[in-house]
Amino acid sequence: MDWRIPSGVTRMILLRHGKPSEEMKGRCYGRLDVGLAPEGHAQAERAASLLASADLQGLYSSPRRRALDTAKRVAEGRGLDIRVEEAFREIDFGLFEGLTYEEAERQFPEVYAEWMAHPERVRFPEGETFSEMRERVRAGGRVLRARHVGQCFALVSHGGVNRTLLAESLGMADKHLFRLDQVHAAVNVIDFYGDEPVVKLTNAAP
């Protein structure tokens, strides 16, 4: 990837956090604040190496520890402060938080069935809907772009956040969101020519 950007272009780099702690495998976690697995730390290191030549003028993170731990690797040696932005937290799964998928299906069969059929429409009990998350994420994205016109900045957050911002740039309907894969520590790049986005890179595994 050539990290030089044309004059006047605003570049948003989206980085998903590394692999979280093993106890979360097969469980719902959004609001839960879990750290990285050893493999996640290694993925974060590789992502930081991939971004080493990018001239970052800002570095932002979700408030969740898995994102902050990943962002710290990117920040090392750059003299950049990490700014935590609440807008970019992962969706709140409400009462699904911490449950395995089997437990969620058993305890909330109707909501679970709706989630599997229409993930963009379901409301998690005592949690969020995708549309609520979408609006706060998109609004947050506009704030960062306005703050960094003509500059390059990075946001370290979550798969759902990345998909939301990529789908907005691509004009994708909400129901197609999961056509966008986001592996752990995936790197994505969106260039903005004024308000016109151009997706330059998606789901690059470092």
Q: Is 148 a catalytic residue?
A: no
**Residue list for the binding site:** 66
Q: Is 76 a catalytic residue?
A: no
**Residue list for the binding site for substrate:** 66
Q: How many angstroms separate the Cα of 49 from the Cα of each of 5, 16, 52, 81, 203?
A: 19, 15, 5, 18, 16
How many helices and strands (H and E) does the chain possess?
Answer: 6, 6
Q: Tell me which of 39, 41, 76, 90 is the catalytic residue.
A: 90
Report H helices in the chain: 38-50, 65-75, 101-107, 109-117, 130-147, 159-170
Determine contact, residues 40/206, Cβ cutoff 8 Å: no
**Residue written as tokens 């998909």?**
163
Determine contact, residues 63/86, Cβ cutoff 8 Å: yes
Using the CB atoms, write b or e for 38-68: b if 16+ within 10 Å.
eebbbbbbebbebbeebebebbbbbebbbbb
Supply the residues annotated as catalytic: 17, 90
